[in-house]
Chain A
Amino acid sequence: MTSPNEAFVAFEHVQKSYDGVSLVVKDLNLAIGKGEFLTMLGPSGSGKTTTLMMLAGFETATHGEIKLDGVNINLVPPHKRGIGMVFQNYALFPHMTVGENLSFPLEVRGMGKSEREAKIKRALDMVQMGAFANRRPAQLSGGQQQRIALARALVFDPKLVLMDEPLGALDKQLREHMQFEIKHLHESLGITVVYVTHDQGEALTMSDRVAVFNDGRIQQLAPPSDLYERPENSFVAGFIGENNKLQGTVEEIGQGTCTVRLATGEVIDATPVNVTQKGQKTLVSIRPERVEYKPELFPAGAHSIDAEVLEFIYMGDMFRTRLRVAGSEDFVIKSRNTQGQRMLRPGEKIKVGWHPQDARALDP
């Protein structure tokens, strides 16, 4: 999408250690384009906040370079970076009214009163909080505080806005609503957003690209659809969405396809992703909704494999069926509740199959 030399934000070989013993961020390379909405997604402790704090200037990189608009900012103090930031607990100043909170970044920039007022009004209107300028943060609900925090991070027209789990404290409905609003603001203002979350649904719906973090490394950096459909390693496959895993060894490998022999002896088709030669151990990952169980839908020439129905769950729009496949008891298939769709019964013996490109042979 963007090559490093035209990136708006660039991390180059960045490492971070807090204690001088272990690395919390290990060789981070990341280029973020102008106007991009990039999300950092990953389990707790994977170094997302640390990365964001280095970008904001509150932590110094132990090694490597961080560039903003082509300029190295490793030594620039936070207040000179001009980066807007939304904190998880909002960090609205409790002793100031909403209006004063928004006025603060403008005052420290030496802006005149009339200009300040115009900008505050515009920012509050942007988040539909125009009537609340005289309230104190304590007099606002969580969702309202969230909007004010957003307005405060945007009021001084930063080019880059960082958000660290900004919606973590909101209930589901409000969170979905705010996701939409943040996305909308991002599009209408043309700002660059770096967003941290460990809610994958949030990451997939909002982002242009998602960086999946684990253990201080980016495991995959890709648009949401790629991430879901073409995970590059077993961590990403397991972390994003639901996923059936089958252990095996590569039996044959050709141009873009391979066959894998499972531990129990069956042979299945897959697409080689992280395997290159015969005999390698691999973990094949297949999404539940891509598994077929009607023989007429199996692709021609593909392998199919025996399965026994263990459990059938009716979910309204979907059926979710748990099967025993190749010795594994948590193989799940999902099928849409369409006209004439068959409901499988526990104990039923069936065959399942899939398109080779839906089964990805990853690192074991």
Chain B
Amino acid sequence: MADVSQAPLQTADGRPLKAALAKAQARAKRRAFLLVLPLLAFVLLTFVLPILQMLQRSFYHDGFSANAPATVAWLEEHPQGSEIDETAYAALVSDLAAMQKAKTAGAAGTRINYTYPGTISIFKEAAREAAKLQPPYKAALVALDKKWEDPLLWVTFRHAASPWTTDFYMVSMDLRRSTDDGLQRAEPEMRIHLQLFVKTFGLSALITGLCLLLAFPIAHLLAILPMRKSNLLMILVLLPFWTSLLVRTSSWIALGQESGIVNDILVGIGIVADDNRIQMMYNKYGTILVMTHVLLPFMVLPLYSVMRVIPPSYARAARSLGATSWTTFRRIYLPQTLPGIAAGSLLVFILAVGYYITPALVGGADGTLISNLISFHMAKANWSQAAALAAMLLVLVLILYWLYDRLIGIDRLKLG
């Protein structure tokens, strides 16, 4: 026996067993790979590539660097802190003249405008006049607009001189450059991003909590009712999935707006005065109300799938051991539903954080979320700014996911 176990095992026709096994498995693996190839290609093309491209865009903008070569060259020769002398302005004016010919003054101005607001118009104006300007160019430009001699503008130029930049993240974090090239907080009226992130995460957490409160009893009922009744209830829970999101949101508007059904009824029975109707649409209450409704099934389903398989004998055992029904719920039932609570909460929260249509329709001014700002930037073709905000959202969600894994464990997740 001993020498048999030493020699490598062979198949009946004398090939080494390992090689034979590898060969036999290789074919199966190749087949499996071919089967998933279409999906793999699809995911790669429609998901991975766009995300990579989005990430790239959030770090890249060549609007200034490509269109102001002379200024870029001057900035490269003169380190930060050098005096912005006449040669610099001469380079700038030559670039502006070229921009006018190539009609690229808008693009260059837009790039600078991200971190130094109000520059698109002065770029366009200066480009128009560039051909007519006479030395000394500094004086000539300053005569057109005071901003041209602002040291901060030149700090901004220096950062836009390379197409690769972290400026969009700086803006997304409500920061701006100071004259000495340091970072400082943006002016109060410009600090909208962090606040919006906080609001998005706060509202999402609130919506998740509301969904959990509403879904828990529903899921429990579904889990304990006899099959026939629970199937009927399940259809009611799933019904929203079968209607368009737009239709659902619009019907909420019909219900909840100032002249809507709910207000009409409340006024009709005299609870609310006609001139004091409740504002529940076009503000953050609208967002909370409608999103809680829209996302509820995503909480019910994972909870239900977990609750359905908890045998009733656990609760009975706890009761027979002397626990009141409340203790039984808290110490026996609730802990066993945790995987469902965790899965549902994660799902609802992540969906809520990125939700767009509902807040756009019913959110009004204070009920919009970060996704609405991203879509605003996309509509204005501010791709890089939109990409930077989206990437930050992605990173925050990933951090949350990581925290979740550390605290609860992703393997305990149970989606259905």
Proximity string of chain B (184-204) to chain A, C-beta cutoff 8 Å, 1 when within and 0 when not? 000000000000000000000
Hey, which chain A residues are within 8 Å of B327, CB to CB?
108
Name the contact of B313 in the complex, choosing from A78, A82, A87, A109 (C-beta under 8 A): A87
Hey, which chain A residues are within 8 Å of B317, CB to CB?
85, 87, 91-93
Q: Tell me the chain B residues, 321-361 only, with Cβ under 8 Å from chain A.
A: 321-325, 327, 331-332, 335-336
Contact of A79 with B331 in the complex, beta carbons under 8 Å: no
Proximity string of chain A (86-104) to chain B, C-beta cutoff 8 Å, 1 when within and 0 when not? 0101011111000000001
Contact of A56 with B318 in the complex, beta carbons under 8 Å: no
Name the contact of A78 in the complex, choosing from B311, B320, B336 (C-beta under 8 A): B320
A152 within 8 A of B: yes
Contact of B320 with A108 in the complex, beta carbons under 8 Å: no
Contact A95:B336 (CB < 8 A) given known A89-B311, A104-B331: yes
Residues of A within 8 A of B (CB): 56-58, 77-85, 87, 89, 91-95, 104-105, 108-109, 152-153, 156, 162
Secondary structure at chain A's binding surface: helix, strand, loop or mixed?
A: loop
Contact of A104 with B316 in the complex, beta carbons under 8 Å: no
B314 within 8 A of A: yes
The 6 tightest CB contacts between A and B, nearest first, are A105-B321, A91-B317, A85-B320, A91-B313, A78-B319, A108-B323
Name the contact of B322 in the complex, choosing from A89, A93, A105 (C-beta under 8 A): A105
B317's nearest neighbour on chain A, judged by CB, is A91
Q: Which of B318, B324, B327, B335 has the most CB of A within 10 A?
A: B318
Name the contact of A93 in the complex, choosing from B314, B320, B324, B325 (C-beta under 8 A): B314
Contact of B313 with A79 in the complex, beta carbons under 8 Å: no
Hey, which chain B residues are within 8 Å of A162, CB to CB?
320
Q: Known pairs A92-B317, A93-B314. 13 more at Cβ < 8 A?
A: A57-B319, A57-B320, A77-B319, A79-B324, A80-B322, A84-B320, A91-B311, A91-B313, A91-B314, A93-B318, A104-B318, A104-B321, A156-B321
Secondary structure at chain B's binding surface: helix, strand, loop or mixed?
A: helix
16 contacts between A and B (CB under 8 A): A56-B316, A58-B319, A77-B319, A79-B323, A80-B322, A85-B317, A87-B313, A91-B317, A93-B318, A95-B336, A105-B322, A108-B321, A108-B327, A109-B322, A152-B321, A156-B321
Contact of A79 with B322 in the complex, beta carbons under 8 Å: yes
Q: In the complex the two chains form, what is the Cα distance from A78 to B332 in whole Å?
A: 16
Hey, which chain A residues are within 8 Å of B323, CB to CB?
79, 104-105, 108
Hey, which chain B residues are within 8 Å of A78, CB to CB?
316, 319-320
Q: In the complex the two chains form, what is the Cα distance from A56 to B335 in whole Å?
A: 25
Hey, which chain A residues are within 8 Å of B316, CB to CB?
56, 58, 78, 85, 87, 91
Q: Which of B321, B325, B331 has the most CB of A within 10 A?
A: B321
Contact of A94 with B336 in the complex, beta carbons under 8 Å: yes
Q: In the complex the two chains form, what is the Cα distance from A78 to B327 in whole Å?
A: 13
A109's nearest neighbour on chain B, judged by CB, is B322
B338's nearest neighbour on chain A, judged by CB, is A95
Proximity string of chain B (115-131) to chain A, C-beta cutoff 8 Å, 1 when within and 0 when not? 00000000000000000
A89's nearest neighbour on chain B, judged by CB, is B313
Q: In the complex the two chains form, what is the Cα distance from A61 to B320 in whole Å?
A: 17
Q: Shortest Cβ distance from A243 into chain B, in angstroms?
A: 36
Proximity string of chain B (137-155) to chain A, C-beta cutoff 8 Å, 1 when within and 0 when not? 0000000000000000000
B313's nearest neighbour on chain A, judged by CB, is A91
A56's nearest neighbour on chain B, judged by CB, is B320
Q: Shortest Cβ distance from A211 into chain B, in angstroms?
A: 21
Name the contact of A82 in the complex, choosing from B311, B322, B324, B331 (C-beta under 8 A): B322
Contact of A95 with B335 in the complex, beta carbons under 8 Å: yes
Q: In the complex the two chains form, what is the Cα distance from A104 to B320 in whole Å?
A: 11
Contact of A83 with B311 in the complex, beta carbons under 8 Å: no
Q: In the complex the two chains form, what is the Cα distance from A173 to B322 in whole Å?
A: 33
Hey, which chain A residues are within 8 Å of B325, CB to CB?
79
Hey, which chain A residues are within 8 Å of B320, CB to CB?
56-57, 78-79, 81, 83-85, 153, 162
Q: In the complex the two chains form, what is the Cα distance from A312 to B318 in whole Å?
A: 54
Q: Shortest Cβ distance from B335 into chain A, in angstroms?
A: 5
Hey, which chain B residues are within 8 Å of A92, CB to CB?
317
Hey, which chain A residues are within 8 Å of B321, CB to CB?
79, 84-85, 104-105, 108, 152-153, 156
Q: Shortest Cβ distance from B13 into chain A, in angstroms?
A: 44
Contact A79:B336 (CB < 8 A) given known A91-B314, A108-B327: no
Q: In the complex the two chains form, what is the Cα distance from A82 to B320 in whole Å?
A: 7
Contact of B332 with A93 in the complex, beta carbons under 8 Å: yes
Contact of B335 with A156 in the complex, beta carbons under 8 Å: no
Q: In the complex the two chains form, what is the Cα distance from A56 to B314 in whole Å?
A: 14
Proximity string of chain B (305-317) to chain A, C-beta cutoff 8 Å, 1 when within and 0 when not? 0000001011011
Q: Which of B313, B316, B322, B325 has the most CB of A within 10 A?
A: B322
A155's nearest neighbour on chain B, judged by CB, is B321
Contact of A156 with B313 in the complex, beta carbons under 8 Å: no
Q: In the complex the two chains form, what is the Cα distance from A294 to B146 in whole Å?
A: 133
A58's nearest neighbour on chain B, judged by CB, is B316
Q: Shortest Cβ distance from A80 into chain B, in angstroms?
A: 8
Hey, which chain B residues are within 8 Å of A109, CB to CB?
322
